[in-house]
Amino acid sequence: DIQMTQSPPSLSASLGDKVTITCQASQNINKYIAWYQQKPGKAPRQLIRYTSTLVSGTPSRFSGSGSGRDYSFSISNVESEDIASYYCLQYDNLFTFGSGTKLEIK
């Protein structure tokens, strides 16, 4: 099974900051990584697929990059509506979620 190590577990940012979350896979996942946002009491929402492709409706302040085992997800100009938990998901070999990152506003 592929393991996904996501960090940090939590982030505290000011409005307008840029934040970055990373996921490292236990093996090469060939860019097959997606990123999800989950707000309290809601189902997850996919923001990015295949490392860097924004899903329809995802604001351009969200971005993703990476290759091989190492991937990152960034939010530039953090807004109050970005308060949520974020998860990576590898789908190169079955599916594995990262452990999540909770974003809070300072």
Residues near other proteins, by CB under 8 A: 1, 36, 38, 43-46, 55, 85, 87, 89, 94-100
Structure tokens at 89: 């998901």
Helix (H, G, I), strand (E, B) or coil at 54: strand
From the CB of 45, what's the least distance to other proteins, in Å?
7
Q: Is 100 helix (H, G, I), strand (E, B) or coil?
A: coil
Question: In the numeric block, which tokens belong to residue 91?
Answer: 């789908």
State the minimum distance, in angstroms, from the CB of residue 15 to other proteins. 26
Nearer to other proteins, 3 or 12 (CB): 3
